[in-house]
Copies of this chain bind each other. A is one copy, B any other.
């Protein structure tokens, strides 16, 4: 019988659902016989974004094994038996970047990265070897030192997202470079689009900034993520006028040159109302 009743959701109303059967008949008394459903591997993949030199960049790692050996891919790995999806993503993030993610409850700046679930990709055949369902996560981090991937710097880098998303893009050496492995170009594009829309109505853009930052630095984050130029004067009026967005620390800095600018920390507000408006829409 169907008793599909299996799912962690499975619901079996009357029991007339059919079940995946691998060749042999499925015994309804054993709904969780592993042979009753297809074997899945579950992984987490990470879209780790940062702003470097006025460009939105993503962390890419070079694949050391086939398929796609030598191609760039998003970092990721298997979900372990005893961890939930967020833990798996946080673990991978720490392994790749040294960052520890702060969950949504972390109020003050702890120099961690923002981490959230992005979407799940599970097309049969997205991995040529077996059925792999990948729960992609999005991480936003301040500008970091050069990445380390298993200690080997040549196998990990921050790459501008436009470069990674170019169709049959060109590498830095000028030669044609293959696009990202697997469906990672799609995952990256989805992550970038999530980041672009989310900084509109939330204070998440501060996740790209160091603990203390100026209004101009925050504006350059918006400009890099959206790929537009913003009016510095209107931007200043807007962000300083939004309650809870920015908290002045009292200090100033001239690291951007020009007149000393006030330093701020991220305020407690997470939702911006009214939102920042992305031009050209």
Contacts and interface: CB of A to CB of B under 8 A. Distances in A.
Interface of A: 1-20, 22, 26, 29, 31-32, 34, 36-45, 61-65, 67-68, 73-85, 92, 95-96, 117, 119-135, 148-152, 155-156, 178, 181-184, 187, 273, 281
B41 A2 contact: no
A31 B63 contact: no
Contacts of A81: 20, 38, 124, 131
Contacts of A16: 67, 128, 150-151
A1 B117 contact: no
B3 A78 contact: no
A38 B131 CA distance: 14
A7 B74 contact: yes
Nearest to A136: B9
A181 B150 contact: no
Contact of A43 (B8, B14, B95, B131): B8
B32 A129 contact: yes
A63 B12 contact: yes
A3 B62 contact: yes
Contact of A150 (B13, B120, B124, B182): B13
Contacts of A80: 20, 38
**Residue of A78, A135, A181, A184 contacting most chain B CB atoms (<10 Å):** A78
A1 B94 CA distance: 11
Nearest to A92: B4
A187 B18 CA distance: 23
14 contacts: A1-B150, A2-B155, A3-B150, A8-B45, A9-B74, A10-B67, A10-B77, A11-B63, A12-B63, A13-B156, A20-B78, A26-B130, A37-B79, A85-B121
A80 to B, nearest CB: 5
Contacts of A95: 1-2, 17
Contact of A2 (B39, B150, B182): B150
Given A6-B43, A13-B149, A65 B156 contact: no
A39 B43 contact: no
Nearest to A17: B128
A189 B123 CA distance: 27
B127 A9 contact: yes
A132 B8 contact: yes
A61 B10 CA distance: 10
B3 A65 contact: yes
B39 A39 contact: yes
Given A125-B17, A150-B2, A150-B17, A7 B120 contact: no
